[in-house]
């Protein structure tokens, strides 16, 4: 499984756009990039998944450059409730694979008023 590197912590203010970048230099051809959000005392929650270019859903956008060695999670106009730990993971999520993911330390995002 490809190792990921992301900042340990980030601060932002309400209403700002937040971009969290993740490095995954050893990503394999079949690997997908997935981001999760975790609040204290809760299990992680799936945010977004992508393979290449840009993916957008109602919560976030995921930008993946052509070489796929990094990715950026973009959270538009954050609020205090977006304060959480964000995990970037890389793994083969195809239907014939195990779907196994190894979590790193994640990025603790603190949104201030």
Q: Which residues are near another protein by CB under 8 A?
A: 34, 36, 41-47, 49, 87, 93-106
Q: How many residues does the chain have?
A: 113
Alpha carbon distance 49, 93 (integer Å): 10
CB of 16 to another protein, least distance (A): 25
Longest dimension (CA), the chain: 45
**Which one, 100 or 113, has the nearer CB to another protein?**
100
**Which one, 7 or 104, has the nearer CB to another protein?**
104
**Which one, 14 or 102, has the nearer CB to another protein?**
102
Nearest to 100 by CA among 87, 85, 89: 89
């Amino acid at each position: 499984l490809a190792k990921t590197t992301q900042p340990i912590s980030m601060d932002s203010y309400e209403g700002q756009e937040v971009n969290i970048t993740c490095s995954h230099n050893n990503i394999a051809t079949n690997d997908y990039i997935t981001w999760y959000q975790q609040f204290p005392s809760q299990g992680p929650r799936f945010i977004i998944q992508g393979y290449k270019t840009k993916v957008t859903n109602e919560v976030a956008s995921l930008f993946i450059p052509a070489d796929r060695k990094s990715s950026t999670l973009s959270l538009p106009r954050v609020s205090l409730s977006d304060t959480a730990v964000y995990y970037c993971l890389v793994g083969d999520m195809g239907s014939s694979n195990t779907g196994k993911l190894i979590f790193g330390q994640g990025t603790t995002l603190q949104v201030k008023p």
